[in-house]
Amino acid sequence: MTDAMGIILTRNQDANMNELTQVRDISALPFAGRYRLIDFVLSNMVNSGIINVGIATHVNYSSLMDHVGSGKPWDLNRKNYGLFMLPPQVRGASLGAAGDVDLLHNVLTYLHRSKQKYVVLTGANVVCNMSYNEIIKYHEEKGADITVVYNEAALDDPQLKKCTTYDVNNAGKVVEIHHNLSEPVSKNAGMDIYIIERTKLQALIEDAYAKGSHSFINDILRTSMDNLSIYAYKYDGFVGRIDSVVSYYENNMKMLCPEVREELFAGENPVYTKVKDQVPTKYLEGANVKNSLIADGCIIDGSVENSIIFRGVHIAKGAHVKNCIVMQNSVISERCDLESVVIDKECTLRMGKRLVGQPTYPFILPKRTLV
């Protein structure tokens, strides 16, 4: 068991997610045919021996609560510690304006009642498979006050403009922090993962909240660089950041790459999710499937190419689905033609419909839409 607890911040990061986050928090967004985004960070925590995890919610969290439940799929339905849903109780700011400091101030009682030495503080929209034990060991070796985790991205990566980036010296210490730059000057992209002692985090949050601050990065990390020893840990594995419709679509499509799937799902650390037992997918005589992920419970009678199909989807005879994401219990009727489309849960397309988007601008069909 690791001497650390986990806090997951499910922030209001849905400005670029359009219809996909109208009815759910981004952390509950379906991914890779059977998972939700929060499954990855929860699995990373339990695989690292963390048994005390709090999820600080923000808005639209009913779907998230339904998915995680008591935490049983992650072995977090425990008598001592386990999984805690921490609904918002924002006082000093409106719910829409609440930042990380506000959310963390709301969970101070939970922090105070916990006994673990360290806190692993993370967001919930980064897809990766990592062990936090190595980062905690690095944190202790460096004698750091705060350790941030980053990966190296290309300077021309458009997502880099939205990331917090770090200038790091040869000793691994952070010497400069950049946030939301129009032209990135560093390729060390933060992964929204931080290691900090529990009591120190409490003190920093109380001080920042008393000053009316809202941002953990701008109002705590950047303003405390002269007083705190901040180190950076480099992660070299696969990292998928979900912060827009395009990045959601692109990272789902990366799951069709065998090497990426191997790294995320076939290693020593499994990715757990809510179990939904369904019958195997039925492929009828007219089915033609190429390079796709098909979940269980589907009926496939049409053509599916380079697509990700979630549970219980019915694709009728003569339908053609290419480069698409089709979520749970949707129905694609006969002679429908779909390309570069993201179809949310429980949608129905009547006979002969044609929807075409672009990989750089996929067409979104909201949940329970009838076309």
pLDDT in tens, 103-135: 999 999 999 999 999 999 999 999 999 999 999
User: 97 pLDDT band (50/70/90 cuts)?
Assistant: low
Task: Specify the range with the lowest mean pLDDT, choosing from 6-15, 187-196, 219-228, 360-369.
Answer: 6-15
Half-sphere exposure of 289 (CA within 13 A, CB side): 20
User: Using one digit for the tens of pLDDT, what is the confidence trace for 181-238?
Assistant: 778 889 999 999 999 999 999 999 999 999 999 899 999 999 988 899 999 999 999 9
Q: Is the pLDDT of residue 180 over 90?
A: no
Residues in contact with 295: Cβ distance below 8 Å, sequence separation at least 6, in sequence order = 33, 34, 281, 309, 310, 311, 312, 313
Q: Residue 255's domain spans which residues?
A: 4-265
Whether residue 212 sits in one domain with residue 124: yes
Look up tokens 């991205």; give the residue. Answer: 153
191 and 309 within one domain: no
Rounded-to-integer distance, Cα 320 and Cα 303, Å = 5
Q: Is 270 contained in some domain?
A: no
Task: Output the average pLDDT for the chain.
Answer: 93
The dihedral region occupied by 95, where left means phi > 0, alpha psi between -120 and 50, and beta the remainder, is alpha
Residue with tokens 């599916």: 304
Phi, psi of 257, deg, nearest 5 = -85, 120
The tokens describing 2, both together, are 């690791």
| 29 occurs within a structural domain | yes
- pLDDT higher than threshold 50 for residue 93: no
332 and 190: one domain?
Answer: no
Instruction: Let me know if residue 87 belongs to a domain.
Output: yes
The model's pTM? 0.95
Count up the domains in the chain and report the number.
Answer: 2
The answer to whether 63 and 344 have CB atoms below 8 angstroms apart is no
Asked whether residue 276 is assigned to any structural domain, the reply reads no
The CATH number covering residue 289 comes to: 2.160.10.10
Residues 61, 183, single domain; the answer is yes
Give the tens place of pLDDT for each residue, 263-321.
999 989 999 999 988 899 999 998 999 999 999 999 999 999 999 999 999 999 999 99
Task: Inform me whether the pLDDT recorded for 24 exceeds 60.
Answer: yes
Confidence check: pLDDT of 335 > 60: yes
Question: Do 289 and 253 sit in the same domain of this protein?
Answer: no
In a domain, 370, yes or no: no
The amino acid sitting at 197 is E
Mean pLDDT of the region 163-167? 94
66 plus 195 within the same structural domain: yes
- 39, amino acid identity: D
166 and 300, same structural domain? no
In a domain, 274, yes or no: no
Task: Tell me, yes or no, whether 35 and 105 share the same domain.
Answer: yes
In a domain, 195, yes or no: yes
